[in-house]
Structure 1
Amino acid sequence: MGDTGTHGVRTTRLTSVRDVAQSRRRTSTGRRAKPRWYLPAVLGADAAVTAASVALVLGRAGQPYPLRTAAVATATWLTVRALRRRYRIDELGESRGALPVLHDWLILVAALAVLGVATAHPPQPYPALVALVPCLVGAVVCRRRLHRHLTEARRAAEAVDRVLVVGEPGVLEGAVQRLASRTDHPYAVVGTVLAGDGAPTGETAAADRLGPDLDGRTAGHRLVEAARRHRAELVLLAPGACLTGDRLRELCWALHDAGLEVALTPGLVETSVKRLTATSVAGLAVLRVEPPLGPGAQAALKSAVDRCGAALGVVLLAPLLLLLALLIRLDSPGPALYRQRRVGRDQEIFTMWKFRSMVTDADRRKGDLAPRNECDGLMFKMRRDPRVTRVGRFLRRTSLDELPQLFNVLRGDMSLVGPRPPLPEEVADYDATALRRLRVRPGMTGLWQVSGRSDLSWDETIQLDLHYVDNWSFSSDLDVMSRTLRAVVDGRGAY
């Protein structure tokens, strides 16, 4: 891997990155452009689902005053969501996570339980809880659909902030390329301003400039003029040698006095905001970066869920496992299971089990097919691999060939969620950056599997795995598992 892997921007995508940036620059419509139907749609969905589910379930269960209870539950649910700021325009569609909705729902249950104690005829706990479950499911589904719609809108340069990026050569280019490499965020770069006297490169060659000899007031005035010329709504400052201390503060004064919003980028990449804490020390604004989660309660919970989930999966799926093994044996000669040496946590070698999806001499024929590898990195992938059997194509398309890895999870070699388990020959060519993905147990599913699988480049695969390793939490595992079913049904990148 080269430097592109470290910085997360693939050289093979630079042309498309520039196209995306130019498209966003031309068509961005401004930060107030979220569709107006977002708020009434979310409010309507929350109210309708809550009222209907509570009234129907309590009515069928013969509980007293179902309509009155439905009205109280609906009002309480909307109040809880409003107090938790779920209906703010800057919140709508920004996240698809289910954990915040679960927190809201637990508050709803607690609030209704208190209200029930205060009434003469509260509903029975079991039907009341069943009646409230659709509130949780409906809010999660609505949240994810809204996020998906907003993401698509931003790919068309809608509902974005017009951003002017300011920084020194090198830092500026890195920030612009980073923003242009993805389109699921609200920042559309409409202009750049170079700070200092370094030589501009690439797309910043024609940028405005703030010379190091300018005092803070003059520099601020020029920056405001540049923002107004580009019709920017937000100025993103990338601090460096020429943008620090009093000079940076004076620029912020000038921008705020002109009615412009200001944001600072500390240069961190792929670091979850959950690990960041802002504080002030001796007048300095300090951003504290918490270390990735290590041994503790969440790690113990993950291990328990892995073992219990794998055991339950083996018991429930035993008939399916036997059926698939029989189909494999009938389709082609050879064993039903395929064993392969993989590298696990801390570079420990283990034997991984899968259902055999290829002919028995597939490993021997891999060298002959190497020139036809469709992956741009260390992995070997072919969309139409001639070694795959008929049943194997179905198994790969549905990811059923991965089910025997449940036994690896039971043994402790793997986890339900984690990075893809690599081959020893792949690890032999890893650099220090790629080796960090081996800090955790590999998983049956993970960010790689739910984000496109084999359609992703090598750099994208590494970046997803590093993001998981550095920002892991139990709630992120739950989110990946909830997205796995859709990825399996969709089948994109499975070959």
Structure 2
Amino acid sequence: MLEERDGSVRHAAQRQAFSARFPASRLRGEGTVARRAWRREYVRRIVGVDALCALVAGAVGYVVRFGPPGVATEDVSLAVALALPVIWVAAMLVARTYEERYLWVGPEEFRRVLSAAALLLATVGTVSWAFKLEVARGFVVLALPMAAMLTLLQRFTQRRWLHRQHRHGRFQQTTLLVGHRAGVEALHAQIDRDAHHGYRVIGCALPRADGADAEVFDGLPVLGGFDELVDLVHRYEVDTVAVLPSPELDGPALRRLGWGLEDTRAELLLAPAVTEVVGPRVSIRPVAGLPLLHVERPELTGVRRLTKEAFDAGSAAIGILFLAPVLVTIASIIKLTSRGPVFFKQERVGRDGRTFSMLKFRSMVVGADRMVEDLADRSDGNGVLFKKKDDPRVTAIGRILRRYSLDELPQLINVVRGEMSLVGPRPPLQTEVDQYGFDMHRRFLVKPGLTGLWQVSGRSDLSWDDSVRIDVRYVENWSLTFDFMILWKTAGAVLRGAGAY
């Protein structure tokens, strides 16, 4: 009787804490089906605009190759141009580019679009050769790549629109975090940082030994314990259950949880223990009759590394030539507006722990590095990195250079020398390295970069733990595709100037 009364009191407290954060008026009528209704509309819109992209590409390809219909009509190519929207959508469907698991986040959607376009190009060439169809090669070579480009552009645009909606609290799915306190706190912070993913955390479930009877943890209502998960999903109409590694939730327990969620619409997400290792390095393989997670070694040597270094050196050399007028202009302004050298040289730690002299346009007064101790107690950094938003050492022109990262351009010379890469971890000072833990030394397996995940993820606004996690993630998952993605995002990060001070 006493246990029953205690349970009622605890559930009442949980409901009260939950209602304080998410009033009933916001949840009434918002079942999982209603919250996911936007997905069908999103997919239909993508299908329709994909077909429109193919129609435009077919029309442009035909007109460029043959002129307007009726001027120099080519029946077979005209038929292909008219049928291209249907063929294109069918190819996207076969490549599974309309499946929800590949949409909204991650590069897999775009990779599948490119794969489908390449396969369709090969198929058209093979079929036209096999059946001796007179399909103009000029038309095919122009229309299909254009269809792929337009499709990628429209999907990227729609994804950005959806991310903006997520950030404004629309089209979200309720999420329950399951795990121990440390894991729940870290995942909650990560979800808050990446609000564009659209997960709205409504509470957490903790093991009994970790405080499942508490009312609130990390600003979240503690809705119950591990033994109540299925009941919690029904009670609060949870859309997503995110489970962190916990000894209490072993294989049999997770299997039973999955069975219990089968009669709900909730998605089950399992966070692996190696959260920073993602992408092609991870695969599930059958071993001794069991599906085990296989983690490949990171490819940090060999042909891929040589390819990266050749790309870096070549691109940096071209960049220096192309940006020469800009570099000369900036150097002249610095020389005319403040006393001291144009360039600032500083010893940084590179690959394998070797030091090198990193170049930057001077954006501070002469001797600024010797003034750090006087300003250390007023740092806006993360405890290891010294940063100050209103740094009195920065010159007038320096503020502009730092705002748009123009002071970093001379590091292209470091890239040509082979001391740095275009993309990589941020080059640290020796004083920072002296404070590194074991994990952070992993970053010395690759060259530091002119840009990197740190720069496109918030820069100086990041905490030290986030900086470590981001650097380790880059090293663990490096690829040329990953580098290109970071370079693409760098332009937006520079224009926004977030964390640049």
CA distance in 1, matches of 2:180, 2:289: 24
Aligned to 1:8: none
Residue range with higher mean Cα deviation, 240-249 or 103-112: 240-249
CA distance in 2, matches of 1:174, 1:245: 23
Q: What is the DSSP-based 3-state SS (H/G/I as helix, E as strand, rest coil) of the residue aligned with 1:386?
A: coil
Q: Deviations over 1:372-399 (max 9, x none)?
A: 3211232222223232233322322232
Residue range with higher mean Cα deviation, 232-241 or 324-333: 232-241
Residue range with higher mean Cα deviation, 292-301 or 344-353: 292-301
TM score, norm. by length of structure 1: 0.82
CA distance in 2, matches of 1:359, 1:239: 50
Offset at residue 36 of structure 1 (A)? 4.8
AA paired with 1:74? P
Is 1:149 matched up with 2:153?
no
Contact 1:24 1:188 in 2 (8 A): no
Offset at residue 415 of structure 1 (A)? 0.5
Q: What is the DSSP-based 3-state SS (H/G/I as helix, E as strand, rest coil) of the residue aligned with 1:256?
A: coil
AA paired with 2:105? E
Is 1:76 matched up with 2:87?
yes
Contact 1:24 1:157 in 2 (8 A): no
Offset at residue 316 of structure 1 (A)? 2.1
Is 1:123 matched up with 2:136?
yes
CA distance in 2, matches of 1:436, 1:83: 41
Residue range with higher mean Cα deviation, 252-261 or 320-329: 252-261
Offset at residue 443 of structure 1 (A)? 0.6
Aligned to 2:38: 34
Aligned to 2:56: 52
Aligned to 2:224: 208
Contact 2:279 2:477 in 1 (8 A): no
Change (3 A) 1:134 1:344: same
Which of 81, 88, 107 lines up with 2:119 in the alignment? Answer: 107
Change (3 A) 1:22 1:107: farther
Is 1:86 matched up with 2:97?
yes
Offset at residue 469 of structure 1 (A)? 1.2
Aligned to 1:255: 261
Alignment: residue pair count: 466
CA distance in 1, matches of 2:23, 2:342: 51
AA paired with 1:41? R
CA distance in 2, matches of 1:362, 1:55: 61
Which of 346, 350, 359 lines up with 2:352 in the alignment? Answer: 346
Contact 1:355 1:403 in 2 (8 A): yes
Q: What is the DSSP-based 3-state SS (H/G/I as helix, E as strand, rest coil) of the residue aligned with 2:276?
A: coil
Aligned to 1:213: none
Aligned to 2:428: 422
Q: Deviations over 1:234-257 (max 9, x none)?
A: 444445443335444344334336
CA distance in 2, matches of 1:239, 1:366: 42
Change (3 A) 1:398 1:58: farther
Change (3 A) 1:433 1:336: same
CA distance in 2, matches of 1:386, 1:412: 34
AA paired with 2:446? V
AA paired with 2:66? G
Q: What is the DSSP-based 3-state SS (H/G/I as helix, E as strand, rest coil) of the residue aligned with 2:98?
A: coil
Change (3 A) 1:68 1:62: same
Change (3 A) 1:80 1:436: same
Residue range with higher mean Cα deviation, 224-233 or 352-361: 224-233
Change (3 A) 1:393 1:262: closer
Offset at residue 327 of structure 1 (A)? 2.3
Aligned to 2:281: 275
Aligned to 2:483: 477
AA paired with 1:400? L
Residue range with higher mean Cα deviation, 444-453 or 149-158: 149-158
AA paired with 2:47? L
CA distance in 1, matches of 2:405, 2:273: 38
Is 1:334 matched up with 2:343?
no
Offset at residue 278 of structure 1 (A)? 1.9
Is 1:62 matched up with 2:66?
yes
Q: Which runs of 5+ in 1 are unaligned?
A: 1-17, 211-218
Contact 2:382 2:462 in 1 (8 A): no
Change (3 A) 1:266 1:388: closer
User: Could you tell me the percent identity over the aligned residues?
Assistant: 37
Higher relative contact order (Cα pairs below 8 Å, separated by 6+ residues): 1
Q: What is the DSSP-based 3-state SS (H/G/I as helix, E as strand, rest coil) of the residue aligned with 2:38?
A: coil
Contact 1:49 1:135 in 2 (8 A): yes
Instruction: Let me know the Cα RMSD of the aligned residues.
Output: 3.3
Residue range with higher mean Cα deviation, 190-199 or 427-436: 190-199
Q: Deviations over 1:169-193 (max 9, x none)?
A: 6666665565556434454444544
Q: Which runs of 5+ in 2 are unaligned?
A: 1-16, 68-72
CA distance in 2, matches of 1:483, 1:253: 41
Residue range with higher mean Cα deviation, 60-69 or 273-282: 60-69
Q: Deviations over 1:80-99 (max 9, x none)?
A: 21111112344332335644
Q: Deviations over 1:120-171 (max 9, x none)?
A: 543244x643444433332233232333233333345544444444446666
Q: What is the DSSP-based 3-state SS (H/G/I as helix, E as strand, rest coil) of the residue aligned with 1:277?
A: strand
1:172-211 correspondence runs (5 A): 179=191, 182-185=194-197, 187-195=199-207, 197=209, 199-200=211-212, 203=217, 206-209=222-225
Which of 308, 316, 323 lines up with 2:329 in the alignment? Answer: 323
Aligned to 1:286: 292
Contact 1:45 1:142 in 2 (8 A): yes
CA distance in 2, matches of 1:490, 1:177: 22
Change (3 A) 1:52 1:289: same
Aligned to 1:395: 401
Offset at residue 418 of structure 1 (A)? 0.6
Q: What is the DSSP-based 3-state SS (H/G/I as helix, E as strand, rest coil) of the residue aligned with 1:34?
A: helix
Contact 1:55 1:69 in 2 (8 A): no
Q: What is the DSSP-based 3-state SS (H/G/I as helix, E as strand, rest coil) of the residue aligned with 2:81?
A: helix
